[in-house]
Structure formats: C-alpha cells, structure tokens
Amino acid sequence: MELKYKILKGLDVSGFAVFDPVVRLAYGEEPQKQIRAIGKFIIVPVIFILVCFALTDWIAPKHKTKSGQVPDTATIRKSAKINHLIAKREGIKTVDFLREGADREKTLLEVQALIAEKVAIVDELKAELKIQEEAYKSQLDAKLKPIQSKYDALKAKYKEASNARKAQSKALATQVYNKQVEPSELVALLKESDAQTEAERAELDILKNQLDEKRSEKYEPLELARSNVDSEADALMFLKTREQLLTSRNRSVKVAEAVEKKQGIADSFETATSESKVLNAAKGLVRQELSIERLESQKYAPAATIYLYIQRSVFTVIVGFLLAVIIGIPLGILCGLNKVFMACMTPIIAIFKPVSPVVWLLIFQIIVGAFFPNPDTHPLFVAASNIPWVQTLGVNPAMVFSACTVAMCALWPSLVNTALGVCSLDPDHVNVARVLRLNFWERLTKIIIPSALPLIFAGLRISMGVGWMVLIAAEALSSSDGLGKFVWDEYQNGSSLTFANIMFACFVIGIIGFILDRVMIVLQRIVSFDDSGASV
C-alpha cells in the first residue's frame, strides 16, 4: 500500500496525474470508477490522436509541393527508421575501425560473406528491376498508343490545313498586288488564319498534356523494385565500406604497415652508402615514429547522426540555460532587494527582452568569435575535449554562439520572476527576520531565497522552454551541429525524404522539449512549499 501512494505521488509531482486511475485500477481500487476515468482521459485522447494521424494520412497525399509530397505518417516513420539505421551503421563503422587481430579477421570473413550474399541479392533485384522497367515500358506504350496515334493524325491534318491556309493567303496577296482585291481582305484572312492555327495548337496541346500525364504516372511495381534496389545497394555499399575499414583503412592494419616501413628504414642503415643517406634514414625514422604515434591514437570520425545532433542540442541548451541561471538569478535577487537597482535595470530589461534571438546570434557570432581566433588551441575547447562525454560532441565556436544566444534569450524570464519572487516577500516573514535579528546573509539564505523559490523555478521553467525554442533557430543559422541544423540542411539539400525528415525532426524537437519541461515541472513541484502545483 505504501508503494501505491508513492507511485501516485510521483505521478502527481511529475504532472502525469492522468495515469492515476491506471495505478489505482492495478491495485483494484473502485474498478468501475477507474475504468470510467481511463476511458474519458486516456482512451478518448488516444483515439483523438489516432484520428489526427488518419486525417494526416488522408490529406497529406493530396498535397504535392515543389519539395515533394506532404509526408504521411508512414513516410515519417520511414524517415525515423532511416535516420536510426544511419546512426547504427556509423556505430558499427567506428567499432570496425578499431578492431584488430583475430577479431578483425573473423569480422572481415563475416562481412565478406555478407557482401557475397548481398551482391547476389542486388543482382537479383536488378534483374527484377529490368523486368519491371520492360513491363512499365510496354504498359506505358499500350496506354500512349491510342493517344499518340490520335495526336499524330491530328497533327498531320492540321499541318495540311495550315499549308492550305498559307497557300490561300499567298494567292490573295498576289491579287492584292494586282489591285484586284482590297488589302483589308488579306488582313482579315490572316487574322482568321492565325486564330485557326491557335485553336488547332490548343487542341494538340490538350493531347500532348494527356501524353505527359500518362508518362508521369507512377507505376507501383517499378517504384517498389527501384526502392528495393536502392536500399539493398545502399546496404551493399555499407558492407563494402566495412570491408575497407577492416582492411586497408583499419587502424591496426595501418599501424602494422607503418611499423613495417619503419623496420625497412631501420634496416637501411646497414646498407647505407653515404653519410647523407644515413642522415636521411634517421630523419625518415623520426617521421615514421611520429606517424605511428598519431595512427595509434586515431579514431574513426563518424558522420553526424541524428543521435549526435540530439546530444549536442541538449548539451547546448543546458549550457545556455545554466549561463542564464547564473546571470539571471543573482541579478533578479538584486533587483528584488534594491529598488534603485531595479529602477536601473528596468530600462535594460524592457529594451533587450523583446530583441529577436536572430539578432543576438549575429551579435554573439561577431563578439564571441573574436575570442576564438584559433579554436583548436583555445583553452576552452582543449578543456572540453578532455571531459568524457563532452569530447564526443565536438565543442566548437558555433556551439558557443548558440549557447550564448540561448542564455541571452532565456535570461529574462528567470531574472524577472526572481525579482518578482524576492519583491513579493510576505511582510510577516520580514517581521520574523527582524525579530530573529537575522543578518543580511541569513535573511537572504533563510528567508528571501526560500520564499522566492517557487516563483524562481516557475521562471526557470519558462527560461528552459524559451531556450529550447531559440536554440533550434540559432542552430539553423549558426550551423552548429544540432537539430536546428539538421532541419536546415534537410531543407537545403532536398532529397525525396526532405519533407519527411523535417517532420520527423519536428517530433523529435517536440518530444525533447516536452521532457525538458517535465523535468523543470518536477523540480518546481519539489521546491514549492505551497501546494499550488504547476499547470501542464
């Protein structure tokens, strides 16, 4: 029973009170009431979401844009799968690069076996594709033929008619020249003839459009065969890369080669015929040793994947958020404590708060950029490359601008809410502080901050939300590897999955934003002493 109430309390604190009846039902508490609650607040919303998906699937294919068709849910799922697959493959490649000894040889054999298999499959699929192409051509011809022949016939007929009209007008022109007919008659004839030609052309165009339409009609079996070949060929390509990473591009192989070369140079001392050759050999040996050292510490540099983007974005937003907190809360406390300071800060807050994140990004890019003339050797980045997880993210100046932009925009809600929290200190509590004769520091830590904490955390929650929104825009603009850049690159690159990838990123961004917000809600609920609770 203890556990039940702990779970219920946990759900309440984390803002998942909607699952309350599920837990109660599991404990057999008033089943009918719980089932009714589940029906109303879980099943109905789930059905609603499913209806939304169904509507999307119905409406999306009806809208074709320049960047392709609006993706339905299946396409978005496919995009998610592909992004996951890419990430998984990069992981495998990273491991392959480092394999050595028997492990490498064993894996190499496995990969080669897989390649042989894949080649067979791809060949088969290519043959199938050829068949489908033939089939497509023949069915297309069958469809085109009647229209084509009609078109050809009509075209020939109109050509003849047009020639006849030309001859007629020529004849009339001769008559006009001989003053047998008024020129106006010729003009009228030409006008009529032009109109006729125009009408005929329009008629031909209709048929031509029909032909084009038929040609651009998708032939499902062919599309399927093509995408099968594409995906299998892609897999084959991946396996071939693996093979390379296990052989010529493998670290241990490269190291072994270098060691062998070094040995060769060392041996050449004995056969050296002159002083200068000895010197050259010694120089070569030094170089070779250095390159072996470098090779030994080398790692595979995987291509950026969606998971790296997610990690970088979350890391950047947290850094930016912490910067905002470190600046915003002390300033907010000062504002709340001192009316003069508040009066000084008010114009600054009022003017800078509404400035667009894009402007801040550009400003930071210029200002912060000046601090990193040589990012590779800058102590900040050197330090970042030595912290466990952080080093895998690749901290770079673009990330710093983005974090600064996040901080600048997330600063205000924290600052303003903290100031408000400190200002609205209960006069009774002030009296308590006076009666207890607390000094300034004790007042601050024992009365002012605890009493302002609920509002401070409400501000932090808003800051986090603002920060996450700003970050995505900042990344798109600053090209800091992250979800924002992912979206921007997709928009720029334009592949068949562009639109689906953007929609997929939309869901990823939303879900991460939701999780961040929930974390903030939990923190807020933990520190609030009044049972006010947080709105969802």
Partner 1 sequence: MSFLEMKNVSLGFGPYDNRTEVLKDINLSVKENEFVAIIGFSGAGKSTLISLLAGLTQPDKGQVTIGGKVIKEPSPRLGIMFQNYSLLPWLTVYENIELAVRQALPKLKGKELVEHVERYVGMVSLTPALKKTPAELSGGMRQRASLARTLAMQPEVLLLDEPLSALDALTRANIQDEIIRIWENDKRTVVMITNDVEEALFMADRIIPLTIGPEATLADPFLVEIDRPRNRAEVNNNDTYKKLKLDVTNYLIGLNDETKKSKAKIEIEMPDVQPLDLSKPLSKNVQV
Question: CA–CA distance from 77 to each of 83, 114, 508 (Å)?
Answer: 10, 27, 12
At 367, list the tokens: 């200002």
Name residues contacting partner 1, limited to 292-331 (CB under 8 A): none
532 near partner 1, rule: CB under 8 A:
no
446 near partner 1, rule: CB under 8 A:
yes
208 near partner 1, rule: CB under 8 A:
no
13 near partner 1, rule: CB under 8 A:
no
Tell the residue number behind the tokens 């006008």, with chain if given. 191
Pick between residue 389 and residue 441 the one whose CB is nearest to partner 1. 441
Tell the residue number behind the tokens 């709340």, with chain if given. 336
Name residues contacting partner 1, limited to 328-347 (CB under 8 A): none
What distance lies between CA 241 and its chain's CA centroid?
Answer: 25
Tell the residue number behind the tokens 């759900």, with chain if given. 11
Largest CA distance in the chain: 125
Q: How far is the CB of 536 from partner 1 (least distance, A)?
A: 22
Pick between residue 66 and residue 437 the one whose CB is nearest to partner 1. 437
Q: How far apart are CA 321 and CA 313, in angstroms?
A: 12
At 431, list the tokens: 């009296």
Tell the residue number behind the tokens 């710093």, with chain if given. 400
63 near partner 1, rule: CB under 8 A:
no
Site map 380..419 versus partner 1, x via CB under 8 A: ----------------------------------------
Give the DSSP letter of residue 64.
E
Residues sharing a CB contact under 8 Å with residue 341, sequence separation 6 or more, in sequence order: 334, 335
Candidates 63-71, 184-192, 435-443, 479-487; binding stretch for partner 1 (CB under 8 A) = 435-443
Which residue in 431, 445, 495, 496 binds partner 1 (CB under 8 A)?
431
Which residue in 1, 3, 102, 435 binds partner 1 (CB under 8 A)?
435
Pick between residue 389 and residue 529 the one whose CB is nearest to partner 1. 529
Residues sharing a CB contact under 8 Å with residue 143, sequence separation 6 or more, in sequence order: 214
Q: How far apart are CA 175 and CA 360, in angstroms?
A: 80
Q: How far is the CB of 433 from partner 1 (least distance, A)?
A: 9
Which residue in 106, 130, 201, 434 binds partner 1 (CB under 8 A)?
434
Pick between residue 261 and residue 446 the one whose CB is nearest to partner 1. 446
Q: How far apart are CA 319 and CA 481, in angstroms?
A: 15
Pick between residue 457 and residue 486 the one whose CB is nearest to partner 1. 457
Give the DSSP letter of residue 29.
S
No. of H helices and E strands in the chain?
21, 2
Candidates 242-250, 318-326, 443-451, 476-484; binding stretch for partner 1 (CB under 8 A) = 443-451
7 near partner 1, rule: CB under 8 A:
no
Q: Where are the beta strands (DSSP E) in 236-353?
A: none
Which residue in 341, 429, 465, 512 binds partner 1 (CB under 8 A)?
429
Which residue in 358, 432, 512, 523 binds partner 1 (CB under 8 A)?
432
Instruction: Report the half-sphere exposure of 482 (CA within 13 A, side-chain side).
Output: 32
Question: CA–CA distance from 433 to each of 330, 336, 436 (Å)?
Answer: 21, 17, 5
Q: How far is the CB of 417 from partner 1 (least distance, A)?
A: 17
Candidates 72-80, 88-96, 274-282, 430-438; binding stretch for partner 1 (CB under 8 A) = 430-438
Which residue in 330, 450, 494, 510 binds partner 1 (CB under 8 A)?
450
Q: How far apart are CA 498 and CA 475, in angstroms?
A: 18
453 near partner 1, rule: CB under 8 A:
yes
64 near partner 1, rule: CB under 8 A:
no
531 near partner 1, rule: CB under 8 A:
yes
Residues sharing a CB contact under 8 Å with residue 18, sequence separation 6 or more, in sequence order: 41, 42
Candidates 193-201, 401-409, 444-452, 473-481; binding stretch for partner 1 (CB under 8 A) = 444-452
Report which residue type is found at 25: L
Question: CA–CA distance from 261 to each of 16, 82, 256, 351 (Å)?
Answer: 64, 42, 9, 66
Name residues contacting partner 1, limited to 65-104 (CB under 8 A): none
Which residue in 3, 101, 437, 492 binds partner 1 (CB under 8 A)?
437
> Cβ(133)–Cβ(222) under 8 Å?
yes
Q: Judged by CB under 8 A, how many residues of this single chain contact partner 1?
A: 17
441 near partner 1, rule: CB under 8 A:
no
Question: CA–CA distance from 2 to each of 8, 9, 165 (Å)?
Answer: 10, 11, 100
Q: How far is the CB of 15 from partner 1 (least distance, A)?
A: 20
Pick between residue 356 and residue 424 the one whose CB is nearest to partner 1. 424
* Residues of this chain that bind partner 1 (CB under 8 A): 428-429, 431-432, 434-438, 446-447, 450-451, 453, 529-531
